[in-house]
Amino acid sequence: MSANPTIDSCTVETSDGIKLHTTIFKPNQYEEEEEEENSWGVILVHPYSILGGSQGLLRGIANGLSRKGFKAVTFDMRGVGRSTGKPSIFGFKEIKDVVAVCKWSLENLSVNKILLVGSSAGAPIAGSAVEQVEQIVGYVSIGYPFGLMASILFGRHHKNILKSPKSKLFIMGTQDGFTSIKQLNNKLRCAAGRVEKHLIEVYRVSTWCCMGSVRHCHKMVLSG
């Protein structure tokens, strides 16, 4: 499947009344039937709002995944773009945003399993939501900020994903600006459940590399 996806937008409301601008990428041959392949939804969580993160940064990955038959969803967290509210410094309020979009997707997109993907600061925020939605069965981090300086902001999120028994894939560039390979390895050493990492040479990092890794995590979850 490679045809252009159908792209829709809507507003999702959180438990505390924030309205999130959300975009849905549906495979071109989208059907309402709950086929095995189409029962999956991929929810993508963008980088740090305060530094300019927005759903537009993940559009390429979402578009590519939908071409491969997945329903993909991006959204602007609170205070970004057309979403209401204000961003929080440590990303704890944004956990409600992730949970709201996941629950909306389960109720409205005919999906019964979710693969949750977080990019940069979106990775710890997404990681803290994993155990709050039962139907999230796998997690992908793209550039998780495990480094010392980044941990000042996001360190309190770390244990939430590391203690989760759900399958996890950590993607990182070999010269990541926030986390060294040694720091990544040290953190993953104590992680529960099935954990894999995928290091990408800096010159090879691209939307297609990340998309391929997300698809790998989907297969990883299916294999148990």
Q: Is residue 59 part of a domain?
A: yes
Give mean pLDDT, residues 161-179. Answer: 94
- Nearest CA-CA partner of 168 in 214, 203, 205, 100: 214
Length of the chain: 224
Percent over 70 (pLDDT), the chain:
84
Instruction: Please indicate, yes or no, if residue 1 is contained in any of the structural domains.
Output: no
Task: Find the domain containing 83 and state its range.
Answer: 6-29+37-223
Q: How far is Cα 1 from Cα 105, in angstroms, rounded to an integer?
A: 22
CATH number, residue 126: 3.40.50.1820
The mean of the pLDDT values for the chain is 89
User: What is the reported pLDDT for 118?
Assistant: 97
Number of domains in the chain: 1
pLDDT above 80 for 70: yes
What are the pLDDT digits (tens) for 3-54?
Answer: 788 999 999 999 999 999 999 999 976 544 445 554 899 999 999 999 999 9
The contacts found for 86-91 with CB under 8 angstroms, 24 or more apart, are: 87/49, 87/50, 89/50, 89/153, 90/153, 90/154, 90/156, 91/48, 91/121, 91/124, 91/125, 91/128, 91/153, 91/154, 91/157
* Structural domain includes residue 52: yes
> Above pLDDT 90, what percent of the chain?
76
Alpha helices of the chain — where are they, by DSSP H? 59-67, 94-108, 122-129, 148-162, 181-188, 207-222
Q: Is residue 91 part of a domain?
A: yes
Question: Tens digits of per-residue pLDDT, 106-165?
Answer: 999 999 999 999 999 999 999 999 999 999 999 999 999 999 989 999 999 999 999 999
User: Which of the pair, 165 or 201, is modelled with greater confidence?
Assistant: 165
What value does the mean pLDDT take over residues 191-198? 96
Confirm whether 96 is domain-assigned: yes
Residue with the bigger pLDDT between 61 and 220: it is 61
Would 131 be classed as within a structural domain?
yes
Alpha-carbon span 153 to 175, nearest angstrom: 21
Find the range with the poorest average confidence among 12-21, 64-73, 88-97, 205-214: 205-214
| 77-85 average pLDDT score | 98
Please report which confidence band the pLDDT of residue 219 belongs to, taking 50, 70 and 90 as the band edges.
Answer: low
The answer as to whether 25 is a domain residue is yes
